[in-house]
Structure 1
Amino acid sequence: MWQATLRRAVLNGPALVTIAAIGILSIMDGVIKYVAATHGTGQIAMLRYAVGALAAGAVFAACRTPLPGRSMLRPHLWRSVLVSITALTFFYSLSVLQLAVALALSFTSPLFIALFAALFLGERPGKSILLALGLGFAGVLVVLWNELDMGAGGSLANGPGIAAALVAAVTYALAMVTLKSRAARDPIPTIVLLQNAFACVLVTPLGAWQWVPVSGGELGLFVLIGVLGTAGHLCMAWAYGRADASRLGVFEYTAFLWALVIGLVAFSEIPSPSTLAGAALIAGGALIASRRSRLREAEVEVGP
C-alpha cells in the first residue's frame, strides 16, 4: 500500500506544485492591480523583474548553480521575449479590467498550451485532459456571459484591454511550452534567473519612459511583487520539468478560484451566481486532470 501512496504522491506532486505556483502568482496579480492605479505598465514590469532577478540571483548563488553556458542563453532570451510580452499585455489588462474578467480571459491559455504542446513537443492529450479543458473553457464562458455583457455596459466595451488579455494568453502558452522544453535540460535556478534578468533588460526602456517616483510603501509592494513572481516561477519550472505541459496547463483555471478570494478580500468584489457556477466547472476540470499524469522529457527544442 505504501508503494501506491508514494506513486500517487509522485504523480500528483507537479499538479500540487503548479496549483501552489498559480496561487502565488495570483496574489502577485492582485498586488499589481493595486499599484497599477498610480504606475504605468512598463514601470511595474521593470521593477517586478529587477527585484525578481535579485531574488533569483540569491537562489542561484545559494544553490551553487554552475554558470550557464553560451548555448543556454539564446533559448532563454527567446523565452524572455515571450515572458516580457505576456507581462506587459497582462499587466495592462489588469489595469483596465476587473481582476476576475482579466483572469477569465487569460484562461484561454490552457487551450493554447495543449495546442502548442502537441505541435512542438509531440504530446497527445488523453480524453481526460480534453474533457478537463472543455469543462474549464465552459466555466470561463459562463463567467464571461455575465461579466462581459455589452448590452449592460460590460467590459467588452474595453477592446484594448480584452485584446491585451488574449495576446497575453497566447504568449504565456508559448512561454510555458518553451519552459517544458528547457526544464528537463537546465537547472531550475538558471531558468528563473535568466528569465528575470533578460525580461528586466527588455522592458527597461519602456519602464524608464513611464517612470514616476516610488514611495517607501510602494517600494515594499514592488519588492513583494518581485519575490512572489520569482517564487511562483521556481515552482512552475520544477513542475513543468516533471509532467506534460498539456496536463499542467489545465490547472491555470484554478487561478480563478484564487481570484475569487483575492477579489473579495482586497477589492470587496462579491462574485455573482454565474461566476460561482463557472468556478465550479473550472474546479471540476482541474480535478479530472489531476487523476492521471505521464512523466516524460521534452525531446525537442522550442524557439529560434
Structure 2
Amino acid sequence: MTSARHDRPLLALAIRLGGVMGLSIMAALIKLASTRGIHLAEIIFWRQFITVPILLVWAWFAGQGVGRERLRLLATKRPRDHAMRGVYGMIGMVFNFGAVILLPLAEATTINFSAPIWAVILSIVFLKEKVGIWRWGAVLAGFAGILVIAQPGDGHIPLFGAAVAMAGAFMIALISIQIRDLSRTENPMAIVFWFAMMSSVCSLPFMLFVAKAHAPLDWLILLGTGLAGTWGQLMITAALRYGKVSSVIVMDYSAIVWATLFGWLLFAVLPPITTLFGAPLVIAAGIIIAWRERVVRRAPFTDQRGTAGT
C-alpha cells in the first residue's frame, strides 16, 4: 500500500479535490437549509444519520464471508475512543455548521483554514513540541489574515460569527489528533461510521424539540447535505491511501473557490476586498506549516535545540 500511495500522487490530488468539492457542496446546502428555517440541530442529525445506512451497505458489499462477517470493515475494539471522537465531533459540527450559517460562505471557509495554526499551538501545549521561526511566523501571518478578514469594529462580518468559526477551526485541529490516533488501529470507514452513529444518537433527543414537517425541497436539501458530506468525508480519507497528508492538503484550499462560487450563485454574495487580501495570508500560513511538518519528518536526527525542525 505504501508504494502504491507514493506512485499515484496525481490520483491522490484528484481524489482530495473531489472530496473538498463534496464538503463545499455540503456547506452550501447547510446554509441554504438554514435560510429555509431548518434548525441547526436537525441539520446535524440528518447530515450524520444519512451516512449510517450508506456505509452499512458499502461495507456489506465490500466485505467477505457470511452474515456479520461481511461488516468486518466497521468492527472496532476502541468504542470509548470513538465515543470521545463523537463528543468532540458534535461540538465541532455545532461550531463549523454554525459558522456557515452566521457568516458568508467565503469568510467561513477562509477562517476554517486556520485549523493548521491551531494544530501548531496544540502541539506546543500538549506535545511539548519545539516550534521555531518558520511555524511561529506562519501562525502570526495566519492570525493577521483573520484580522484583515474580520475587520473588528467595522461591522463587515459579525464578530460572534467570526469567533464561532475560529472555535470550529480549533475543534478541527483537536479532532485531527484523535483521528490520527484512531487511524493507527481502525479502518477509515469504521472511523467515519462510528462517528456518524455516535453523533446521530447524541443529536436524536434534540429532534423531539426542533423536528417539524418540511416541504419536498427541504427534504431534498437535507438529503443532499448527508450525501455530499459522506462523499466528501470518504474521499478526503481515501486520498491518503495514495498520497501523504503534506502533499494532498494543498487541495483543501480549493474550497475557497467553491465557497465563492456557491455564495454568488445561491446567495448573491461576493467576498469583499478585505477577504481577498486576508485569505492569501491564512492559506499561505497553512501551506508553510504543512511544508515545515514535512521537513521535520524528513530530518529526525536534528539537534536537541530543534533548530533544523522548526
Shared topology, TM-score over 0.5? yes
Residue in structure 1 matched with residue 24 of structure 2 by the alignment: 26
- 1:132-155 superposed Cα distances (whole Å, 9 cap, x missing partner): 55544443332222xxx434x333
- CA shift, 1:225, in A, is 0.8
* Contact 2:75-2:190 at 8 Å conserved across structures: no
Q: Which amino acid aligns with 2:122?
A: F
Question: CA 1:238–1:174 in structure 2 vs 1: closer, same or farther (change >3 Å)?
Answer: farther
Report if aligned partners of 2:122, 2:174 keep a CA contact under 8 Å in 1. Answer: yes
* TM-score (normalised: structure 1): 0.77
Q: What are the equivalent positions in structure 2 for 1:157-168 lying under 5 Å apart?
A: 159=160, 161-168=161-168
Amino acid at match of 1:102: A
Displacement after TM superposition at 1:205 (Å): 1.1
What is residue 3 of structure 1 aligned with on the other side?
none
Could you tell me which residue of structure 2 aligns to residue 80 of structure 1?
A: 86
Measure how far apart 1:108 and its partner are: 3.0
Do the aligned residues in 2 keep the contact of 1:60 with 1:193 (CA within 8 Å)? Answer: no
Sort the Cα spacing of 1:127 and 1:249 in 2 relative to 1 into closer, same or farther, 3 A.
farther
Contact 1:82 1:175 in 2 (8 A): yes
- Whole-angstrom distance in 2 between the partners of 1:257 and 1:54: 31
Q: Residue type of the partner of 2:21? A: G
Question: Is the Cα contact below 8 Å between 2:74 and 2:187 reproduced in 1?
Answer: no
The answer as to 2:104 corresponding to 1:98 is yes
Asked whether the equivalents of residues 82 and 172 of structure 1 are also in contact (C-alpha less than 8 Å), the reply is no
Instruction: Using the TM superposition, name which of 130-139 and 230-239 deviates more.
Output: 130-139
**What TM-score do the two structures reach when normalised by structure 2?**
0.75
Checking the alignment, whether the CA contact within 8 Å between 1:136 and 1:253 is kept in structure 2 is: no
Q: Which moved more, 1:130-139 or 1:108-117?
A: 130-139
| Equivalent-residue separation in structure 2 for 1:251 and 1:177 (angstroms) | 20
**C-alpha distance in 2, partners of 1:248/1:115?**
22
Separation of aligned partners in 2, 1:163 and 1:283: 18
Cα distance between partner residues in 2 of 1:13 and 1:125: 32
Q: Which of 166-175 and 116-125 deviates more? A: 116-125
Structure 1 CA distance for aligned equivalents of residues 286 and 21 of structure 2: 14
Gaps spanning 5+ residues in structure 1: where? 1-5, 297-304
Mapping for residues 171-210 of structure 1, pairs under 5 Å: 171-210=171-210
The answer to whether 1:156 aligns with 2:158 is: yes
Aligned residues: 283
Alignment of 1:1-304 (within 5 A): 7=6, 9-10=8-9, 17-37=15-35, 38-64=37-63, 65-66=71-72, 68-69=74-75, 71-117=77-123, 134-145=140-151, 149-151=152-154, 153-156=155-158, 159=160, 161-239=161-239, 243=244, 254-285=254-285, 288=288, 293=294
How far has the Cα of 1:109 moved from its partner? Answer: 2.1
How far apart are 1:290 and its partner, in Å? 6.5
> Which SS does the other structure have where 1:140 is aligned?
helix
CA change 1:261–1:133 in 2 (3 A) is farther
Task: State, as a whole percentage, how many aligned pairs show the same letter.
Answer: 23
Deviations 1:166-225 (A, max 9, x none): 332222221122111112321111111111111111111113311121222221211111
Residue 20 of structure 1 and its aligned partner are, at CA, apart by 4.1
RMSD: 3.5
Report the residue type matching 1:226 in the other structure: G
